């Protein structure tokens, strides 16, 4: 009997592994076509308020930031379909949130939340699915997972994860985890540039992430239980800044995701070619630059962080952005991007301009290839 039980357990594991492997590789095959669908999931809603501060509720903050983020993507990337799990103050079950992403075969799932803790707790953090390493991370996952208390039959839909299921899911994580971490790291980097305290990229067992089958992150934008952070997060202009930070991370990740396998890794001991020395610029010509930094306040182009390079700046969405290089070719700009990353600008990415105005990178590439 023991042998039969053992074989049955192994069979369950094998079936789960096979399902997740096939699902993951099918998703990766679709990813070759680029990021076409993004699901934005504002946490909580309706009868589930989430955590709260002295005057604000998590469900309100997450919805405001989520809608602004979606608007940024829709405006700048009309070819990307933005799907919202909710656009109003309604309750959506955790299971349904993941189902929305999976049914639509989304390429990225962005779940937005706000945190709760001691009044002295401060900072933003971005989670990917995994095993928690501290009690604090476990507590956050349990609090966000507690939304199932508002659902019917939650004890059936959300049975405690078995060891077999965790083993199978870990295999799927090996396919998507790197992409999730890449995006999460960019989100945290942009929050730091905004002047927000960063608590880093972390792992925990969030049910909504467990059920999604694509690169997925859960962003804790800050602590509503901290008076200063509550004031910051409840302010409309700051919500716009937070949304823009996540959007900028999305832009960078999108370029990374769609061009990483085609990138050329260069030897940084060789001189850096910034291009454009003999480039004649037409007013309506499409040009490519490499963005290396973003700041909420203006910086001098002679700032030491730019390493003496020739820097060109522009303002976008109330943020100051700094670029190097000038190219007619995306491929040439992409080579410089690799050099910049190897020089320490880890989140460098290519941006496109026409007539002095920034434009959609995909459209720019198509225009220059015709």
Instruction: Look at residue 191 in the predicted model and tell me its pLDDT.
Output: 94
Instruction: Look at residue 79 in the predicted model and tell me its pLDDT.
Output: 92
**Other CB atoms within 10 A of residue 155 CB:** 10
Q: What burial class does residue 165 get, using C-beta atoms within 10 Å of its C-beta: 0-12 exposed, 13-18 middle, 19+ buried?
A: middle
Q: Are 248 and 318 in contact (CB under 8 A)?
A: no
Instruction: Look at residue 266 in the predicted model and tell me its pLDDT.
Output: 26
**Other CB atoms within 10 A of residue 275 CB:** 21
Q: Which of 225, 224, 222, 234 is nearest to 195 (CA)?
A: 222
Strands 108-115 and 37-42 turn out to be parallel
Q: Give the sheet arrangement for strand 124-129, strand by strand.
A: 81-84, 37-42, 108-115, 216-223, 124-129, 198-204
Q: Are 121 and 223 in contact (CB under 8 A)?
A: yes
Q: Are 295 and 244 in contact (CB under 8 A)?
A: no
Per-residue pLDDT of the chain (370 residues; tens, 9 = 90+): 333 443 444 444 445 444 444 544 444 444 445 899 999 999 989 988 888 899 999 999 999 999 999 999 999 999 999 999 999 999 888 888 889 999 999 999 999 999 998 899 999 999 888 655 555 655 555 555 555 554 566 555 545 544 455 445 555 555 677 788 889 989 998 999 999 998 888 887 777 788 888 899 999 999 999 999 999 999 999 999 999 999 999 998 998 877 754 332 223 333 455 554 444 444 467 889 999 988 877 888 777 788 878 888 888 767 788 899 988 888 899 899 988 888 888 888 899 988 778 888 888 888 887 6
Instruction: Look at residue 356 in the predicted model and tell me its pLDDT.
Output: 75
Give me 336's structure tokens.
């410089």
Instruction: Look at residue 308 in the predicted model and tell me its pLDDT.
Output: 78
Which residues contact residue 255 at a Cβ distance below 8 angstroms, ignoring those fewer than 6 apart? 349, 350, 361
| CA distances to 259, 297, 317 from 236, in Å | 35, 18, 14
Three-state SS letters, 218-234: EEEEEECCCHHHHHHHC
Q: Are 176 and 101 in contact (CB under 8 A)?
A: no
DSSP state of 266: -
Instruction: Look at residue 85 in the predicted model and tell me its pLDDT.
Output: 96
Give me 133's structure tokens.
């390493």
- Write the DSSP assignment of 21-80 as a string of letters: HHHHHHHHHHHTT---EEEEEE--BTTB---B-SS-BHHHHHHHHHHHHHHHHHHH-TTS
Give me 335's structure tokens.
């080579």
Q: Are 244 and 186 in contact (CB under 8 A)?
A: no
Instruction: Look at residue 89 in the predicted model and tell me its pLDDT.
Output: 95
Residues in the chain, total: 370
Count of CA atoms in the C-beta half-sphere (13 A) of 339: 20
- Separation CA 12–CA 20 (nearest Å): 12
Strand, coil or helix: 199:
strand
Q: Which of 212, 193, 250 is nearest to 71 (CA)?
A: 250
- Separation CA 315–CA 218 (nearest Å): 29
- Separation CA 53–CA 147 (nearest Å): 18
> What is the pTM assigned to this prediction?
0.63
Instruction: Look at residue 320 in the predicted model and tell me its pLDDT.
Output: 83
Centroid of chain to Cα 367: 27
- Separation CA 234–CA 61 (nearest Å): 6
Question: Which residue ranges form the domains of the chain, and what is each CATH number?
Answer: 2-258 (3.40.630.40), 267-369 (3.30.70.1070)
């Amino acid at each position: 009997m023991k042998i039969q039980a053992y074989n049955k357990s192994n069979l369950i594991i094998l079936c789960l592994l096979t399902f997740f492997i096939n699902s993951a590789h099918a998703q990766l095959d679709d990813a070759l076509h680029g990021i076409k669908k993004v699901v934005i999931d504002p946490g909580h809603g309706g009868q589930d308020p989430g955590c709260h501060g002295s005057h604000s509720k998590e469900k309100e903050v997450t919805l405001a930031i989520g809608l602004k983020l979606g608007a940024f993507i829709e405006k700048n990337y009309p070819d990307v379909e933005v799907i919202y799990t909710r656009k109003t103050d309604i309750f959506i079950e955790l299971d349904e949130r993941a189902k929305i992403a999976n049914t639509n075969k989304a390429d990225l799932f962005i779940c937005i939340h706000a945190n709760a803790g001691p009044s002295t707790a401060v900072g933003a953090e971005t989670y990917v699915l995994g095993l928690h390493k501290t009690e604090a991370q476990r507590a956050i996952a349990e609090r966000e997972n507690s939304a199932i208390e508002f659902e019917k039959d939650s004890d059936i839909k959300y049975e405690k994860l078995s060891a077999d299921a965790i083993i199978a899911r870990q295999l799927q994580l090996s396919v998507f985890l790197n992409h999730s971490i890449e995006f999460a790291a960019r989100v945290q980097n942009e929050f730091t540039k905004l002047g927000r305290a960063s608590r880093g990229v972390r792992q925990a067992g969030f049910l909504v992430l467990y059920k999604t089958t694509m690169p997925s992150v859960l962003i804790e934008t800050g602590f509503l239980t901290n008076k200063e952070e509550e004031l910051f997060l409840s302010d409309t202009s700051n919500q716009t800044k937070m949304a823009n930070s996540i959007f900028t991370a999305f832009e960078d990740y999108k370029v990374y995701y769609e061009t990483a396998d085609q990138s050329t890794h260069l030897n940084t001991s060789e001189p850096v070619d910034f291009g454009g020395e003999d480039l004649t610029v037409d007013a309506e010509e499409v040009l490519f630059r490499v963005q290396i930094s973003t700041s909420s306040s203006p910086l001098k182009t002679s700032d030491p962080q730019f390493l003496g390079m020739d820097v060109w700046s522009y303002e976008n969405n109330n943020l100051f952005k700094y670029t190097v290089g000038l190219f007619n070719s995306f491929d040439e700009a992409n080579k410089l991007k690799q050099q910049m990353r190897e020089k320490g600008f880890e989140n460098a990415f290519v941006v496109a301009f026409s007539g002095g105005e920034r434009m959609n990178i995909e459209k720019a590439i198509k225009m220059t290839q015709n």
